[in-house]
Amino acid sequence: MSDPNRIADPAEAMFAWLAAEPADDPIVDLAALRTHLVALNEGAVSSARLQGCADQFDIRVRDLSNRLRPRLLTATLPLPRDLHQAIGDLVAALLDLAAVFRRLVEDLRQRWLRTQIVEAATLVAQALQLLSEAGFNAVMAGSTLPFGLWQHAHALAVGAARQEGGRDGEIGAQARWAFHYKRLLCLAVVQPESLTPRELSWLFEYLEGAAGRARLERAPALLDSAAYWIDPAQDSPPVAVARRAAPDVDGLWCFDPAPLARRVAEQIEWLENRILEAEVVGLERDGELLASDLSGLPEGLTPVEVLSLLRRLRDRWSAPLLREQPRRRHQYTVQVCAGLRAIWDLGRHGESSARLAEWLVLNESPGGYAIMCVAGIEGVLSAGMALALRRGAGQPWTICIVRWIRSDNPDQVELGLQVVAQDFTAVQIAFRNADTPHTVPALILPQLDSVRRAEALLAPAGSYVSRRFVLMQEGERLYVAQCRALGLDLQTANIELFQYEIDPYPT
């Protein structure tokens, strides 16, 4: 077969490349794909052959997406420059191909043939699937959703809904195009920058079978406070009614993920019971509990990780996240110690061996900060991890949780932080019925006005497995106490935060 790179005619080179086996290196294949997509958009293929050619590109670009996405699972932000460039090119290719399908849809609609309504809906579904892939790849790489994505998605959905007919009620209840559109909406309202790449990859598969439960309607006169409004004329994601009232304009849509949240609540109850049964009979809490034929849940996370993620998904699809305190813009540097273990070492051994970095505060509120790196990144950064910061040497450390992480270029990372304590004490804890008999590092957090009345512990994810545990604090004397957890306050992929008390009836 001829080498596609040596064929002068763009159309012939394109068809030769599509007919050839994909390159072993997906980045090499991606470069060729971008070149041939340019030719496709410049009219290298006749109108009669455009749809068949687009279908072949659809297969190739989604194969590339499936081969590149696993590289994001173990990567840390900011991404290495070559991987950042590759994901950016992949997202651009997905958007370019979605634009080709949108053009095919518009050509079909201009003919006004009712026999082609089903064909047009299929093309809309393909375009929205590509946009959904682009969105998930972008957020897994720590980037914001690309400019123009929402405008394309809204235009495709509005056109498909108009072709279906009807002026009131649910939109596209059983339509394949509506499923892909809802999957993109579900992603947007869950605050994807607060999830790790592994969690986002799991969510992408989970929504494959669940996104259709969410409701999409033409906006009624009175919107539920837990719902979202969409202005299809804008390049904007859905907006929570609780955060901003819907404008008085025609054509608004309403998105309600509450039915999906109810399904998630059922799965949480099922999984909690499975884990409890496993503990009673002495089985490990491993992946066998999540057999897909029983759970209907994707693989890729442990049962404890799935339970943590499902709880957060339920909360965010049940009620929108609200900003409770005003933010003030600032610009000053702070010292940062990232990671629960690093903070614990700092508390135990002092600053002599601590890894401290300098970051810039962009804005702050009584409950948190937004900060940006200014002197290079050291160590691993992840959504949901613990982080300590202070304004200068000798000042107390503020303990925070990374609520979101964003990196639109490989030289910069921004973090959104939630303050959970103004001081800490390094201790060790050991829970009853834990998978391992060893102690784990933890931080005692003092009471925090208007947030919690009791002391709390910040521990690695998966530590909280029973009500009772042993706490050990080393100092001039070793302090050991049996304690009782009062309930889980916060859980992420990296940490668990729970209030506790000294057990009045130790056993």
- Nearest alpha carbon to residue 128 among 197, 213, 187, 192: 187
As its CATH architecture, domain 425-502 has Beta Barrel (2.40)
CB 465 within 8 A of CB 433: yes
pLDDT digits (tens, 9 = 90+) for 379-417: 789 999 999 999 988 899 999 999 999 999 888 899 999
What was the pLDDT predicted at 1?
45
Distance CA 495, CA 382 (A): 11
Q: Could you give the 3-state DSSP secondary structure of residue 212?
A: helix
Residue 375 pLDDT class (50, 70, 90 cuts): low
Report, as an integer, the average pLDDT of 218-222.
74
What percent of the chain has a predicted confidence (pLDDT) above 70? 91
Q: What integer pLDDT is reported at residue 466 of this predicted model?
A: 85
Nearest to 187 by CA among 156, 166, 208: 208
Task: Write the CB contacts of 440 (distance below 8 Å, at least 6 apart in sequence).
Answer: 428, 429, 430, 459, 460, 463
Q: How confident is the model at residue 452, as a pLDDT? A: 84
Count of CB atoms situated within 10 Å of the CB of 376: 9
* Residue 366 or residue 344, greater confidence: 344
Q: What is the pLDDT of residue 427?
A: 97
Radius of gyration of the chain (CA): 26
Fold match flag (328-421 vs 425-502): yes
Asked if pLDDT for residue 286 goes beyond 60, the answer is: no
**pLDDT tens string 128-182:** 999 999 999 999 999 999 999 999 999 999 999 988 776 567 888 778 999 999 9
Each residue's pLDDT tens digit, 30-40:
999 999 998 88
Tell me the C-alpha distance between 252 and 371, whole Å: 35
- With a pLDDT cut of 90, the percent of the chain lying above it is 62
Residue 3 has a pLDDT of: 57
Q: What residue ranges do the domains of the chain occupy?
A: 4-187, 258-318, 328-421, 425-502
Q: What is the DSSP string of 1-47?
A: ---GGG-SSHHHHHHHHHHSPPPSSHHHHHHHHHHHHHHHHTT-S-H
Cis, peptide link before residue 4, omega less than 30° from 0: no
Q: Which CATH class is domain 328-421?
A: mainly beta
Beta-strand ranges (E) seen in 180-327 are 215-218, 228-230, 239-240, 253-256
